[in-house]
Amino acid sequence: MTSPEFAEEIFADPEVLRARDPRGLLPAVAGAGAQVRETARLTAEAGLERVTGGGRPRGLVIVARREGAVAASVLRALLGPSSPVTVDVVPGPTLPVWTGPSDIAVVATRTGAGAYAVAPAYEAARRGVSLVGIGAEDAPLRAACSAARAPYVALPSSRVQHTTLWSLLTPLLLLARELGLVPAETADPEAVAAALDEVAAECGPAQESFVNPAKTLALELLDALPVIAAEGALAGAAATRIVDQLATLAGLPASAFRLPDQRVAARAVLGGPLAPRDSEDFFRDRADDPGRRLRLLTIRDTDAAGHDGGDEREPRSAPAAMDEVLATAAAHTVPVSRLAEHGEPGRFARLPRLARQLAVADFTAVYLALALDNERAQRR
């Protein structure tokens, strides 16, 4: 296990970071704001009016996996339970049997290749379903969309794997905006890009660990078993992304619980057999604890106040459930990290606030991967 002291030395040396990052993950994550702006331009050039001109559809069927599925989950959470259209996320390669001409199918993938991406596009065209494609410039999916005269958002080949979330989410947001599903100010690419740029300045490799939220969090997670508590559906989508990034890039397992519906499970884990045994001595030296230790990572969403069922005997809102989880962590001396709550998060609207959280988490996962030298190990 890499020690925090050694990890700090790695974080402080740009040459070491560069040598351990052959794919250029750090520059790719830092360029998320530029990625949003470029993708917004490419989406405008794709001509979404070809599918939005017919008015609001019955439903959106988003064919996606991994980053694309997270992007779809973010959109569904933003629309909420009062959405006038259904949003279904399917992995492909087939469309749901009920999908028809009154629906819009979106195939969202970084590569635009593979049966799970191409087959649904041709199937949508055969059924008369309006189609939107998102993928690489020279991908087979582009040919399928061209044959169907469907808009295609052609992503540059410079996109780096595991860092293309915003290339897949931006077209979905703009599609929802053109369909009148979200207000223009809610899905404003420039506001999102500005928030991402700000995080890139705060979390870049030139910033020292003690003023860098991502490096600080990476050091906290270096010897931890993260337990992620997400406040509501939008934070839950972010938690899914963070679990995947920590596992894929850093090889670090993490568990995520969406509140309020999973508050019981989260509290059981925080107070279970992996909790610190000597819970009475808060000031003990935790460096003496064997192995990895639980650490609670909270993702807050101040707009998530929904209850987990009006017919429950004790319905609790997501914020109230978070308070319970934090109280359980305190009772068992489980340390807590709060994602992207530095500065003044309240000055951001809901989506830019989520963008800040996702950006800090992406930087953190990359720093962990570089500290553990996972990138070079996987490419040998």
Q: Is the pLDDT of residue 104 over 80?
A: yes
DSSP string, 46-81: H-THHHHTT---SEEEEE--THHHHHHHHHHHHH-T
| Angle at the Cα of 32 from the Cα atoms of 222 and 46, rounded to 5 degrees | 145
Mean pLDDT of 307-323: 68
Instruction: Please give the CATH architecture assigned to the domain spanning 31-184.
Output: 3-Layer(aba) Sandwich (3.40)
Q: What's the number of CA atoms in the CB half-sphere (13 Å) around residue 298? A: 24
Residue 117 has pLDDT above 70, yes or no: yes
Q: Report the pLDDT value the prediction gives residue 310, as an integer from 0 to 100.
A: 45
Question: Is 90 exceeded by the pLDDT of residue 286?
Answer: no
Cis omega (within 30 of 0) for bond into 93: yes
How far apart CA 258 and CA 147 sit, in angstroms, is 41
Round to whole Å and give the CA distance between 72 and 65: 9
Which residue is it, tokens 């359980």? 328
pLDDT at 311: 46
Instruction: Give the model confidence (pLDDT) of 220-252 as tens digits.
Output: 999 999 999 999 999 999 999 999 999 999 999
DSSP H/E element including 233: helix 233-250
pLDDT above 50 for 307: no
**Binning pLDDT at 50, 70 and 90, where does residue 377 land?**
confident
Kindly report which listed range (45-49, 159-163, 310-314) carries the lowest average pLDDT score: 310-314
* Rounded (10°) angle between helices 165-178 and 67-79: 30
Is the confidence at residue 287, as pLDDT, over 60? no
pLDDT at 313: 43
- Confidence tier at 358 by pLDDT (50, 70, 90): very high
CA-only gyration radius of the chain, Å: 21
Domain boundaries for CATH 3.40.50.10490 within the chain: 4-23+193-378, 31-184
Give the per-residue pLDDT at 284: 54
Question: pLDDT, tens digit, for every residue of 23-71?
Answer: 999 999 999 999 999 999 999 999 999 999 989 999 999 999 999 999 9
Amino acid occupying residue 137: E
Percent of the chain with pLDDT over 90: 85
Identify the three-state secondary structure at position 183. coil
Predicted confidence (pLDDT) at residue 206 exceeds the cutoff of 50: yes
pTM listed for this prediction: 0.93
The arithmetic mean of pLDDT across residues 136-154, rounded, is 97
Nearest CA to 36 among 377, 356, 363? 356
List the structure tokens of 120: 């649904």
Q: Is the pLDDT higher at 271 or at 292?
A: 271
Mean pLDDT value of segment 121-126: 97
Q: What is the pLDDT of residue 300?
A: 95
pLDDT value at position 309?
Answer: 47
pLDDT tens-digit readout, 247-266: 999 999 999 999 999 999 99
Question: Which pLDDT belongs to residue 303?
Answer: 87
What's at 366, amino acid-wise?
Answer: V
CATH for 4-23+193-378 (3.40.50.970, 2.60.40.2300, 3.40.50.10490, 3.75.10.10): 3.40.50.10490
In the chain, what percentage of residues exceed pLDDT 70?
93
Q: Which residue has the higher pLDDT, 310 or 332?
A: 332
Rounded CA gap, 314 and 297, in Å? 25
